[in-house]
Structure 1
């Protein structure tokens, strides 16, 4: 897989708009619904200390993790309370058991859209479970790992991988549009990996698919298999064994990340037992990824000036990195500001026409 060292981005003394370390004006995953119970939950996200909690009405709220009150209401020994004795509040949304937080480039900028829908959690077609994981590595390395599933053949021999030659020679297509990248890999007439065999009654060899969809704030991975030669792999309603993964990758700092994952599956029999088997093996898979990615980053820090060399499986990851670089750039900020000013000017002109 290809890796690129990301240095802290500093603003020039002549530039009024600094290059952002992370893409802003974006929703990011901050928690799962089941994590927020009686006690507040503290996390650092994009360098910001945030505390989450559920008020009595049940909706999730988020504040800067600096004080016990959103606005100070009492100071012992004095009656006057300074107007600045308050902490910042963040915009949060909860849908499909995922809690999202909005990070804007400028203060008090409202979200331009609602957070993504992920109806795999709510459709009733799948059983799912998930967890969170902390990485001592930059978030881009997690993206790289998820967009290059050829590593399954080498890293995950006892779960969803093995058969490295088949993985490296899979038929692969890569498409990109706007801020998304889609990688599709097909492995026909292949040996089913251990997790698949344990979860589904395949007769012998299988046709496997891997579909990865990159978004700036999360990835969706749909993998699975059919008995070889029984159905086309591009059918939307294909049968067989399915694993649908949600991967919320949120930077903590420039060199650490939060990884929010769920795995959904469609057991043919013994649904709870099969679901637990899939979840356990998925957890083991991600533990293996964490070891590799953190070791990779430590090695990058030891050799910070070494040039990285791409191979054919790095196409999707490289496109995702270009999207992130574009969204972090001052040019993207200026373009969006220009569009906003243009829209305001058009609206003003139309209003003048209606009044005249």
Structure 2
């Protein structure tokens, strides 16, 4: 159901402190920790001695010690030592390619020989002085593809997010879907409208009249396997929309990384990278809180969808023109999964 030969966001750096972190990704239990020199390592979360979860252990001198009987593991998955025991002949456990980049920890759960860090998306805003980022994590009991559907069709904002980012003009404006290279892109533009509450607050923070007519845009970009970056914002009407001078607009990138846990649950790393008032940490906290509340509304919808799909497994989901982005994204994912299966079959022959 999900590609494995791909980079997924596993966690954020602050989730790995002095202790290891256990996390199920693509159906595989993985433990993350900082080894020698503070470099992140990722191993199978399975002690080769008695099968205990290594994530319940401790990091000692850059190595991972099992909390059950003290077996010490190296970052390469080899057993190193154990009090009063010989462990040199223990079988290796699996180690995973891992990278710390752009403010996230990334893991490659598939064929390690295919892992290429250059394939990790370029999050240019992550260390840009004119941009600020704040975000969080939700553990959602739904198929990660349902979240992708949600983000590639923002029509639901007019109904789910009333009072924050939703407004009638979303439902009244056509959406365009197209392929741009290997990305699925959906676009919606609204001209000469009054900004919804979330964007009115952003306008005030930027010194703009929050009652002035604006042009609003939403551009969702899906990159397989689970990255959706959404260009959003409002500009004073007639000033150029998305291309307006920074003085006349408030713009941001809604950051969404969906990492499958199982076939019916996923890790959702969310946030907003904004291109206005970047040096205001209080504003970052305010936006993070507001955005977290908005996404919690999506969480309730998605988990209810998942329950219904479990109760009615033979019901076919219907697709309208507004669903084109999600449909194309699913086709890309199906092609990747199919291709990985065919590659395994070829290798076996």
Identify the TM-score tier after normalising by the shorter chain: 0.7 to 0.9
Q: Cα deviation per residue 1:184-205 (whole Å; 9 max; x = unaligned)?
A: 1101112211111112133422
2:40 paired with 1:60: yes
Q: How does 1:189-268 map to 2 (within 5 A)?
A: 189-200=192-203, 201=208, 202-216=210-224, 217-234=226-243, 239-268=248-277
2:81, 2:3 → 1: CA distance?
38
1:236, 1:144 → 2: CA distance?
32
2:31 paired with 1:51: yes
Could you tell me whether the CA contact under 8 Å between 1:231 and 1:238 is conserved in 2? no
2:109 paired with 1:103: yes
Q: 1:162 to 1:124 in 2, by over 3 A?
A: same
Q: 1:199 to 1:58 in 2, by over 3 A?
A: same
**TM-aligned CA deviation for residue 322 of structure 1:** 0.5
**TM-aligned CA deviation for residue 211 of structure 1:** 0.9
- Determine the structure 1 residue equivalent to 2:163: 158
Could you tell me whether the CA contact under 8 Å between 1:32 and 1:98 is conserved in 2? yes
- Determine the structure 2 residue equivalent to 1:323: 332
1:58, 1:214 → 2: CA distance?
32
2:278, 2:37 → 1: CA distance?
39
**TM-aligned CA deviation for residue 121 of structure 1:** 1.1
Give the structure, 1 or 2, with the largest relative contact order (CA under 8 Å, sep 6 or more).
1
Q: How does 1:1-356 map to 2 (within 5 A)?
A: 21-67=1-47, 68=66, 69=73, 70-76=77-83, 78-79=85-86, 81-84=88-91, 86-104=92-110, 106=111, 108-114=112-118, 115-163=120-168, 166-200=169-203, 201=208, 202-216=210-224, 217-234=226-243, 239-268=248-277, 271-330=280-339, 333-334=342-343
2:14, 2:248 → 1: CA distance?
30
1:179, 1:231 → 2: CA distance?
28
**TM-aligned CA deviation for residue 73 of structure 1:** 2.7
Q: Cα deviation per residue 1:203-227 (whole Å; 9 max; x = unaligned)?
A: 4221100011101131111100011
Paired residue secondary structure (2:331):
helix
Paired residue secondary structure (2:232):
strand
What TM-score does the superposition give when structure 2 sets the normalisation length?
0.83
- Total equivalences in the alignment: 313
**TM-aligned CA deviation for residue 233 of structure 1:** 3.3
Could you tell me whether the CA contact under 8 Å between 2:164 and 2:198 is conserved in 1? yes
- Determine the structure 2 residue equivalent to 1:341: none
Could you tell me whether the CA contact under 8 Å between 1:34 and 1:97 is conserved in 2? no
Q: Which runs of 5+ in 2 are unaligned?
A: 48-65, 67-72
Paired residue secondary structure (2:149):
helix
**TM-aligned CA deviation for residue 248 of structure 1:** 0.9
Could you tell me whether the CA contact under 8 Å between 1:208 and 1:225 is conserved in 2? yes
Q: Cα deviation per residue 1:212-247 (whole Å; 9 max; x = unaligned)?
A: 110113111110001122224356978411121221
**TM-aligned CA deviation for residue 71 of structure 1:** 2.2
- Determine the structure 1 residue equivalent to 2:58: none
Paired residue secondary structure (2:17):
coil
Q: Which runs of 5+ in 1 are unaligned?
A: 1-20, 339-356
